[in-house]
Amino acid sequence: MLTVIIRAIIIFVVLLVVIRMMGKRQIGEMEPFELTITLVIAELACIPMADKSVPLTFGIVSILTMYVVHQLIILLTRRSKKLQNVLSGTPVIVIDKNGIKYQALKSMNMQVYDLLQAMRTAGYFSVDEVAYAVFETNGQLSVIPYPKTKQVNEDEVALPVPVLVDGEWSPQDLKYYSLEKSFLEEALSRNGVRAEELLLVTIDDNGKMLIHPKDKKYFVVNIGGEVHYG
Amino acid sequence: MVKQIVAAAVIFLLLVGLGLTEMFVVRDNFSALEKEFTEMAVKIQEKTLTEEEYNLIWEDWKKRRETVEFFLNHTDFAEMDFRMAECHAYIKQGNYQDAAAQADVLTELTRHIPHLLIPTPEHIL
């Protein structure tokens, strides 16, 4: 047991030193190859920690090898943009002034929900607040918002809820906010669109409805006090 | 940036050096052991090996094990430890037939273990 304790402490110290040497990139936003190395290092550390039949040197050598690989990749990607693109990918514009770029999302195997979640994490709850949004290679969403033209009163603050995503109604969101689907369908029909043609529909407490067709710019209608909550 | 490149280069060289050291240390120790075990096997066949002579060989293995333990998987030399102990028991009993079998296995292990350290595609995969 004492052997295991000492081995665990040694491996921990080695890990700490190596992660520090790799720099803050490993702690913060990670590129795909950095995530891979971090996951592998974690596995490599565990094996000799717990298995006494594996020499400690095997674990330490493996961890140090990952450090060397990490430094080599950083050096090569600094010199070659092509290699950087291969290993890390390229930033992708997912929202522009026309709204959500659906094909760009699909090319990244992402759903609209993933984009909405990333937007909320970045502090933006509605597509019409965002002029441009870029998914960086480390998975972070960078946003250029539209400038706020007027002060919003406390009464006007509302949470837009995605009630339709990628042509399908979201029963949980409809139910949660007690919204009637039939009423919303009627509102869409009045605006000359059908659910199947739409990428996103959000609605908030103030009756502001954002309608985003799949291949056209979004538009906002105000169904005001007519919002029917079931 | 330069500091990191230098650090990585130094660590890489240390790793390669460690790998080469492992190969040479293990190979040299196990070559010597192979010679000893081969001579031991001949004496066992002739039924002339005494327990004291065997103990000298065993002590030599224990000393060399302290060095190679640093590089090898512990299960590898654990197998040698068990075979050595078993062979000792047979020698003590005068059972040279079974001792000869153990001696053959031990000789093969002294060839097999260092061979696995050679970085060939078969061993890597």
Q: Which of B8, B11, B72 sits opposite A55 (nearest CB)?
A: B72
Element (H, E) at A201: strand A198-203
**Chain B residue with Cα closest to A78:** B1
The answer to whether the Cβ–Cβ distance between A71 and B73 falls below 8 Å is: no
**Closest chain B C-alpha to A56 CA, distance in angstroms:** 8
Closest CA–CA distance from residue B71 to any residue of chain A (Å): 7
What confidence category does residue B87 fall into, taking pLDDT thresholds of 50, 70 and 90?
very high
Neighboring chain B residues of A23 at a CB cutoff of 8 Å: 4
pLDDT-based confidence at residue B54 (cuts at 50, 70, 90): very high
Q: Does A57 sit within 8 Å of B4, measured CB to CB?
A: no
| Tokens 């197998």 belong to residue | B79
Task: Give me the percent of chain B exceeding a pLDDT of 70.
Answer: 100
Distance (Å) from the C-alpha of residue B16 to the closest C-alpha of chain A?
Answer: 10
Residues 6+ apart with CB under 8 A from B62: none
How far apart are the C-alpha atoms of B28 and B34, rounded to whole Å?
10
Considering only CA atoms, which of B66, B68, B107 is closest in space to residue B84? Answer: B107
pLDDT at B53: 93
Number of residues that make up chain A: 230
Q: Which of B60, B40, B26 is nearest to B104 (CA)?
A: B40
Q: In Å, how far is B119's CA from the nearest CA of chain A?
A: 15
Residue type, B7: A
Average pLDDT, chain B: 90
Choose, out of A37, A62, A67, the residue to mutate when testing the contact with B (most B CBs < 10 Å): A67
Residues of A in contact with B67 (CB under 8 A): none
Q: What is the pLDDT of residue A230?
A: 41
B56 touches chain A (CB under 8 A): no
CB contact under 8 A, B11 and A67: yes
Is-contact A159 A208, C-beta < 8 A? no
Q: Does B12 touch chain A (CB under 8 A)?
A: yes
pTM of the full structure:
0.70
Return the amino acid letter for A166: D
Q: Residues B83, B99: contact at Cβ < 8 Å?
A: no
| A contacts of B72 (beta carbons < 8 Å) | 55
Task: State the residue for tokens 């509605």.
Answer: A126
pLDDT at residue B95 above 70? yes
Under an 8 A CB cutoff, do A54 and B12 touch? no
User: Residue B55: phi, psi to the nearest 5?
Assistant: -60, -35
Enter the tokens of residue B52: 């004291």
Residue B94 zone, left/alpha/beta (φ > 0; ψ -120 to 50; rest): left
Does residue B57 register a pLDDT over 90? yes
Closest CA to A70 of B102, B71, B4: B4
Q: Residue A67 and residue B75: Cβ atoms within 8 Å?
A: no
- Taking residues B90-107, report their average pLDDT: 94
Q: What is the 3-state secondary structure (H, E, C) of chain B?
A: CHHHHHHHHHHHHHHHHHHHHHHHHHHHHHHHHHHHHHHHHHHHHHCCCCHHHHHHHHHHHHHHHHHHCCCCCHHHHHHHHHHHHHHHHHHHHCCHHHHHHHHHHHHHHHHHHHHCCCCCHHHHC
pLDDT values of chain A reduced to their tens digit, one per residue, 230 residues = 777 777 888 888 888 888 777 765 555 567 778 888 888 888 888 888 778 778 888 888 888 888 898 889 888 988 998 988 888 888 999 999 999 999 998 888 888 999 999 999 999 999 999 999 999 888 889 999 998 776 667 777 888 889 999 999 988 888 766 778 888 898 899 889 999 999 999 988 888 899 999 888 999 998 765 444 44
* pLDDT at A228 (0 to 100): 46
Nearest chain B residue to A75, by CA: B5
The Cα angle at residue B118 between residues B117 and B122, in degrees rounded to 5: 100
All residues of chain A having their beta carbon less than 8 Å from the beta carbon of residue B18 are 57, 61
Structure tokens at A35: 């995530």
